[in-house]
Each structure stands twice: as structure tokens, then as C-alpha cells.
Amino acid sequence: MAIVKNLTIDQGSTFSVKITITGSDNEVYDLTGYGVPTAQIRKNAESSTITQAMTCMIPEPTLGYVIMTLTDEQSVTIKAGRYMYDMVIESSFGEKYRAVEGIVTVSAGVTR
């Protein structure tokens, strides 16, 4: 079961979030051998259009966390509003898991 983590992104700002991947027993997963996670923001789960892909990295696999980022150039292209996202990780055996999911709220920027 995916971890639920809702996010708020300030339109036009650099965004970064660190998410620790844990199991149902709250033990941190060792992500050694996992591929680079993929994460996408969409207007809703049925949308065929990706609003924005987030960059993901696992800097220290044994510590079990993923960092998801957007540049200011990426976040400025997202209209203010409410979206959905998830992040999928793939094991060295090719098994894919939805590790994190949630709502993304993009707050409108004023300064240009």
C-alpha cells in the first residue's frame, strides 16, 4: 500500500521534498538495487496527459528515502489548482510498486 503524502507547490518556485519509504510495519525500506523512481502530476487519475513529471533520486539507498524535485521553470508552467500525483519504484527483479501518492495543491505565484 502506498504512503499518502499531500504536497503544496508554490508556482514559479523550486520545489523539493524528501520522502522516506516505509512498509506497513513502519520499517524503512532499503532501496539498494531499485531503479530511479518515476513520479508524475496529473489533473486526475483518468487524465491521459501528464501535467508535469517530477525528477526523482535515491541519494542513499540504505536510508530508504527518495527526493522529488521540480525546477522553478517546471513549476511555473503548472496552473494553480489541485492535482494528483504518485511515485513508482521498480525493484531489480522488474517488480513495480506505487510507493507514494497524494494530492498536489499548486498555489498561484504573483511575482514574475
Residue 59 forms part of a structural domain: yes
Residue 112 forms part of a structural domain: no
- Calculate mean pLDDT across residues 29-35: 93
CATH of the domain at 37: 2.60.40.3350
Residue 39 forms part of a structural domain: yes
Query: Does the pLDDT of residue 35 top 90, yes or no?
Result: yes
Residue 67 forms part of a structural domain: yes
Backbone angles phi, psi at 61, to 5 degrees: -55, -35
C-alpha cell read off for 26 = 513502519
pLDDT class of 100 with cuts at 50, 70, 90: very high
Beta strand pairing call for 3-4 and 96-107: parallel
Q: Which domain holds residue 21?
A: 3-107
Residue 70 forms part of a structural domain: yes
Say what the pLDDT of residue 23 is: 81
Residue 42 forms part of a structural domain: yes
Task: Tell me the per-residue pLDDT of 55-73, one tens digit each, with 9 for 90 and over.
Answer: 999 999 999 999 999 999 9
The total domain count for the chain is: 1
